[in-house]
Structure 1
Amino acid sequence: MSRPFRLLVVEGNTKAMRERHAAVAGHTPSAFYAAVLEEAAGWEGLKATVDIAYPTDPGANLPDGAGLASYDGVVITGSGLNLWKGEPESLIQVDFAREIFRAGVPFFGSCWGLQVAAAAAGGEVKLNPQGREVGLARSIRLTEAGRAHPMHAGRGDVFDAPAIHSDEVAVVPPGGTVTAGNDLCGVQAAEIRHDGGVFWGVQYHPEYTFRELGGILERYVPAMVAEGFVRDAQEAEKHIADLMTLDADPVPRDVAWRLGVSPSASDPKARRNEIVNWLARQVAPTASARGRA
């Protein structure tokens, strides 16, 4: 390609939330996602430069339609917000997602990103009555549409993935196609076509390393105990420590076995499958068609 892809990462968290995250992890969710996109592009022999937008910040100067059209792809991160609460910080992101759809730019999102895109297209997000999915989303199954969808090319029919969420897409919007689900969450991945744009998204977090996931779970220890995932804080900390060791190379076989972590989750390239496919199969062809590659 003649130039790097120009991508935009939309930070889903408020300033206070991302600063709290950075205090533990050393980076904000959007900065982490930007680095993942650059690395994943490199796996495909591509290059990417990444800008970051902060829609929840007062006075944020968000790109308009023309500004969005100057990007080759837009990604929305996860977030600690809940759409069903109807907070202004959430609703402004739904409005921004509508602008992204209208701009016709390739669009991707993890967890919160999927929820925001679904709401922007006329779907509904609710608190999952089955409870929280924490650590790993188990036995995610591709639907018939998902098995044929390029977002999941290279995936097995059943896989695990890092996840942390209590909300779900309860009503799929018009133009939405569910491509994966599991017993706890019926919409684990979807394509959404709306107002001239195409969104690919997942409820899980293909971008996460296990160290990133473990750092996030540190904040959820009280909830993990209260909701019965572990018996006490010490058990939670042991589980988190085990998760973090899975970033070692090679992956410790005993820890992976003890936690029941499959290769689909433990191998970095397999884990980031949907991100790589989005870059190679959505961003690259679209940029080429626009004469931008």
Structure 2
Amino acid sequence: MALRFLVVEGNTRSAREAHKAAYGNMLSESYADVIQDIERTAVCDIAFPTDEGANLPDRAGLESYDGVVLTGSHLSIYDRTPEIMRQIDLMRAIYASGTPSFGSCWGLQVAAVAADGDVQKNPLGREVGFARRLRRTEDGRGHPLLEGRPDVYDAPAIHLDMVTALPEDAVVIATNPVSEVQAAEIRRDGGTFWGVQYHPEFSLAELAVIMRQRAELLIREGFCRTPEEVHAYAADLTTLDKEPTRFDLAWRHGVDAEVLDVNRRTREIRNFIEHRVKTEKSARVRA
């Protein structure tokens, strides 16, 4: 029987339309593509909780899914707008449903706040392009979320906000010098969430599009000096996406197979499907 996923898009309508115009997919559609590349027969529905009046599943509807995945977003959760509060409420319902859940970046932040954690701007500034020197914590050693990852690795990333206080029933699985919480497990109301602050779902081509969209921001914050520098960096990422064997570009940008090999880059999503979704689906069937 095919696995059923709900992919929760974190962006508002205008932001997701802009991303689709630039890349061809919304973030949620790209995430669904990654899931279906991993699990060919998977069925993915998409929810848009930022839209007023959106038809969102209740607890019974959430229980009918084998897994729920939360995307990134341009929003900042401490703003607590109606678009944000609907996502927090949905995440609380996901916990209560007991359905396995996973999220990247914004997804981790929503899951933390929905379980009474906290998220604020990172005083060290934005983490852009790649999260470097990610490493397992003591609690992360042997955790199935990071199965197959080396002790230290890099991953695509772009964020300013970070989890600053974890909920009571949570553990940090991975960390780095920029953000203490780079991967975590959070338990709440009978549900368990696995999440990462980085983006294992991003192809380098999608990351390149995001960099281009944020060119002015990257210049203002000092990551690049001119629009030409931003576009040159993005062009290299696009080339690496098409030609991951380009050693010259990989060397120039300091990336290895953990970023360039799609199976390794998406490791956390694969582990979520294998160790949470399939395992719990099997348990439900036996029950």
TM bracket (short chain)? over 0.9
Q: 1:15 aligns with which of 13, 18, 41?
A: 13
Q: Deviations over 1:214-249 (max 9, x none)?
A: 001111111111111112111111111111111124
Whole-angstrom CA distance in 1 between matches of 2:222 and 2:192: 39
Deviation at 1:149, TM superposition (A): 0.4
1:32 aligns with 2:26: no
Q: Deviations over 1:13-55 (max 9, x none)?
A: 111110111110111111111111111224xxxx311000111
Scaled by the length of structure 2, the TM-score of the pair is 0.98
Q: Distance in 2 between matches of 1:48 and 1:117?
A: 24
Q: Following the alignment from structure 2 to structure 1, what is the Cα–Cα distance between the partners of residues 176 and 250?
A: 21
Note if contact 2:52-2:83 (Cα within 8 Å) is conserved in structure 1.
no
The equivalent residue for 1:135 is 129
CA distance in 2, matches of 1:250, 1:25: 19
Q: Is the 8 A contact 1:84 1:127 kept in 2?
A: no
Matches within 5 A, 1:118-267: 118-267=112-261
Q: CA RMSD in A?
A: 1.2
Structure 2: how far apart are the matches of 1:147 and 1:235? Answer: 39
What is the one-letter code of the residue matched to 1:254? D
Alignment of 1:35-114 (within 5 A): 35-42=33-40, 47-114=41-108
Residue identity matched to 1:246: L
The residue aligned with 2:263 is 269
Conserved in 1, the CA contact under 8 Å of 2:244 and 2:261?
no
The 1:292–1:60 alpha-carbon spacing in structure 2 relative to 1, beyond 3 Å, is farther
What is the CA deviation profile of residues 166-224 of structure 1, one whole-angstrom value per residue up to 9, with x for unaligned ones?
00000011111000011011111000011100000000000010000000111111111
Q: Is the 8 A contact 1:179 1:188 kept in 2?
A: yes
C-alpha distance in 1 between matches for 2:204 and 2:131:
13
Give ranges in structure 1 of 5+ residues lacking alignment: none
State the alpha-carbon separation in 2 of the partners of residues 292 and 275 from structure 1: 24
Q: Give the secondary structure class of the aligned counterpart of 2:222.
A: coil
Q: Displacement, 1:253? A: 0.7
- Which residue identity does 2:4 align to in structure 1? R
Deviation at 1:250? Answer: 4.2
Q: Could you tell me the percent identity over the aligned residues?
A: 52
C-alpha distance in structure 1 between counterparts of 2:28 and 2:118, whole Å: 25
SS at match of 2:157: strand
Q: Which moved more, 1:142-151 or 1:98-107?
A: 142-151
The one-letter code sitting in structure 2 at the alignment partner of 1:258 is R
Contiguous gaps of at least 5 residues in structure 2: none
